[in-house]
Amino acid sequence: MIKPHGSDTLNPLFVMDEGKRAELMKEAETLPSVVVCSAAAANAVMLGSGYFNPLTGYMNKADSLRIAKEMKTADGLFWPVPIINMLKDVSAIEGAKRIALRDPNVEGNPVLAIQDVEAIEEVSADEMAFMTKKIFRTDDMDHPGVAAFNSVGNYMVSGPIQVLNFSYFETEFPETFRTAYQIREEIQRAGWSKVVAFQTRNPMHRAHEELCKMAMRDVKADGVLIHMLLGKLKKGDIPAEVRDAAIRKMVELYFEPNTVLITGYGFDMLYAGPREAVLHAVFRQNTGCTHLIVGRDHAGVGSYYGPFDAQAIFHEEVPEGALLIEIYEADHTAWSKKLGKVIMMRDGKDHTKDDWVLLSGTKVRAMLAAGESLPQEFSRPEVAKILMDYYQSQAAGN
């Protein structure tokens, strides 16, 4: 199986030993504590899960600035975005060497992790602006990732952490949430050597289904990891439980048995386009996947990124040998009326606009809310039914 990023074995930061975990929970109640932001909580979940191997905790300012500048930590580890714990107010933890981090996303703010504090550093407005521009390629506060990154405070608390639970992901998505080490175990059990990862924050329509099958066929993969984001999205995105149900139905009916792992990970969407695509590659390597599908406007939002910027970054900015995982570069896929099947649009050079079945997200949502069937060339009817039920329930509630 493909090695993790930056080490020979995966080193998740979740405290596996139940007795040790109980001791730490008891200790946490005696420590200075702080409720972290949602992004920092998601980072803790990813660190605990092994997705952010080989990191041992939250980064300091020197690492964060260098990563923003050139995708390397101060000691040379390749990494695409800073993994940080930013706070607005550090008065409760000033002078503390060990602190409890409380979860902002679970009622009662239970302890999520314990952190050894190596430094508390103030980040200047200029430094925040520099990191913002480098990570997101824009400083427009209408960009949801830019707005979120600049709303969490300007004190950076760095140091190693011990993760004590997986926030709400394990309880709300027990069938879907999986850690990187659990996925590696499942891949090993299945006996797969080549595995394609498919990233999604949306339900999967015919084009996505066929893209997974194309990638599996082209790289001669044994299976595909459908890996959905379970954390916070922007307003208007479809909730994780609805996406999960739609994807499971599609896989049940339209994929060969024992060729798909349906899993999810606990992270908040950054909408950072190219940089986030590289982060996706890093943590899919940590799951044991050999290939990642990077499609048109991967991890993008609005018109902030060019359609293939997330593919170009792997050629232009990722040093050779920095990652073991390979990128499967995909174009937009759609149903060709001429050929009677889904193809990549770059392969339909003789096609006109009328030769494709294309629907905008706005049009799809409007049709579903109105109870109108989507074309079978666009969406499997069983999938469309799950989405229609959701949109009609939303419309009824307004």
Report how far residue 178's alpha carbon sits from residue 191's, in angstroms, rounded to the nearest whole number. 18
Q: Is the dihedral of CA 231, 285, 166, 259 positive or negative?
A: positive
Entry field: residues in the chain: 398
Can you tell me the distance from the alpha carbon of 279 to that of 9, in angstroms, rounded to the nearest whole number?
A: 19
Q: Is 184 part of the annotated catalytic residue set?
A: no
Residue 193 in contact with residue 1, Cβ under 8 Å? Answer: yes
**202 is known as an active-site residue:** yes
CA angle at residue 133 from 67 to 89, to 5 degrees? 75
Report CA 341 to chain centroid distance, whole Å.
Answer: 30
Instruction: State how far Cα 172 lies from the chain centre.
Output: 17
- Spot the catalytic one: 21, 98, 201, 248: 201
Residues with Cβ within 8 Å of residue 354, at least 6 apart in sequence: 337
Query: Which strands sit side by side in the sheet containing 326-329, from one edge to the other?
Result: 260-265, 223-229, 195-200, 291-294, 326-329
Phi, psi for residue 224 in degrees, rounded to 5: -125, 140
Catalytic member of 21, 154, 202, 365: 202
Q: Which residue, 384, 346, 374, is CA-closest to 253? A: 384
Q: What share of the chain is helix, strand, coil (3-state, %, to 5)?
A: 35, 20, 45
How many angstroms separate the CA atoms of 152 and 242, rounded? 29
Q: What three-state secondary structure class fits 247?
A: helix
Please return the burial class of 398, using the count of CB atoms within 10 Å of its CB with bins 0-12, 13-18 and 19+: exposed
- Tell me which residues are annotated as active site: 201-202
